[in-house]
Amino acid sequence: MPVEIKPIKPMIQRNPWVRPCLLSLVLGYIAFLIFVPIGTLFFSAFSEGAVSFFKVLCRWDVLHAFGLTFFLSLLAVFVNAVFGLIIAWVLVRHDFPGKKFLNALVDLPFAVSPVVAGYMLILLFGRTGWCHAWLQAAGIKIVFSLPGMAIATAFVSLPFVIREVMPVLQEIGLEEEQAAHTLGANGWQTFWRVTFPSIRWGLLYGITLTFARAMGEFGALFVVSGAVSGETETATLFVFRAMDERMYQEAYAVSVVLAAVSFFVLLAMEALKKRVREEV
């Protein structure tokens, strides 16, 4: 986990040109890699004036796309927070055969390309899929429909809460929980009153990362959704379609909104990171 940065006082260098050289190299690299592209995006989006920018955002298919993105992200956050907490708890506090395997498995979504994630769902729930006949009978449509997109979003953002809560659970240790037990608290009371307050910053940080990932998901949704505008089109899918159909101003405008939102998410991330470090 990243820690608070405190600079060391620079010593008198034998080669005084090292510092400015290194500094310009690194700052230049960061400017070129990160700041210039972002700046260009904002510039291009507003190149035809603020009015035109906001007009794009008021299009009903854009609004619907934002709504869908937001909805899917919240759903993924909720599901992965609840299950993530349970899984983190089980992996840290329990001991059972196969625990190591499960622990490694949690990293799977990091190893799976988003396209492949979407594809896996098609293999399971698509026309020739494993579960198809069963789903058809129940009248449930997963692929090219909201449920599939929800599952895909949850898949790609699954590990974050687990990976952020586990080290915190590890750090705070068992003693407070044991003390609560000796004072008569049952499992649930102990979790809510003793454990949860200690892990909430780690949990929040994990949730923030989950949200960011879910909001930005594209590849899996691209494969799984069919990208039907107004129905199964998220913000990212809209941007892609807009680029494809050369509706550049529309694409840039929605991209800017996504970038802006992720910027705020980033601020939340950094603030929470500090809190997590302080707690542990």
Chosen residue from 49, 50, 51, 94 binding another protein by CB under 8 A: 94
Binding mask 129-168 for another protein (x = CB under 8 A): xx--------------------x--xx--x----------
DSSP state of 9: P
Q: Angle at CA 82, nearest 5°, toward 157 and 113?
A: 15
Based on C-alpha coordinates, what's the Rg of the chain?
23
Write down the least CB distance from residue 105 to another protein, Å.
6
Write down the least CB distance from residue 184 to another protein, Å.
4
Exposed, middle or buried: residue 217 (CB in 10 Å: 0-12, 13-18, 19+)?
buried
116 binds another protein (CB under 8 A): yes
Chosen residue from 108, 136, 170, 228 binding another protein by CB under 8 A: 108
**Is residue 38 a contact partner of residue 259, using CB atoms and an 8 Å limit?**
yes
Rounded-to-integer distance, Cα 241 and Cα 200, Å = 39
Q: Binding to another protein (CB under 8 A): which residues in 19-58?
A: 19, 22-23, 25-27, 29-30, 33-38, 40-41, 44
DSSP codes, 90-110: HHHH---TTHHHHHHHTTHHH
Chosen residue from 52, 78, 140, 183 binding another protein by CB under 8 A: 183
Chosen residue from 50, 51, 58, 182 binding another protein by CB under 8 A: 182
Q: Binding to another protein (CB under 8 A): which residues in 185-214?
A: 185-187, 189, 193-194, 197-198, 209, 212
Rounded-to-integer distance, Cα 138 and Cα 276, Å = 45
